[in-house]
Amino acid sequence: MATITPTKVYRRHNCARGHRMWNAFARCVWPRAVWVNGEGPWASVAYCGGTTVMLFTTLVNATDAKGSIDAYGCGGRCGGRHEVVRLEREIDEEAAFQRARRYLEPLGREVGR
């Protein structure tokens, strides 16, 4: 298994929408990506030639994917420029949860996460 290194976190994307799918979020973060595959908040990104992005639900999977393109190359013009990026939505989910509780609990409704 590849070594897990500290990762970059990207919160900024290029529009004001709240993307529900990580794949849509990633296309917004890297608008010039050749392709964005998969779904999840962990991205294995290659910046060789054109930018390509693979998304995963876990850090381990993203790190393994980066490890294999580090070892075997990501494609035609691989320059070894690969990294793992954690995507985070700008929406603060904890704040949204607390706000929902403030509105709904006085009405006798329980708020699930």
Tell me which residues touch Zn ion (CB under 5 A). Answer: 13, 15, 17, 28, 46, 48, 74, 78
Nearer to Zn ion, 17 or 109 (CB): 17
The residues that bridge with 86 in the sheet, in sequence order, are 9, 42
Using alpha carbons only, how large is the chain's radius of gyration in Å? 17
CB of 102 to Zn ion, least distance (A): 28
Is 66:44 a contact under the CB 8 Å cutoff? yes
CB of 27 to Zn ion, least distance (A): 8
Nearer to Zn ion, 13 or 54 (CB): 13
CB of 92 to Zn ion, least distance (A): 16
Q: Using the Cα atoms of residue 5, residue 41, residue 31 and residue 92 in order, give the sign of their dihedral.
A: negative
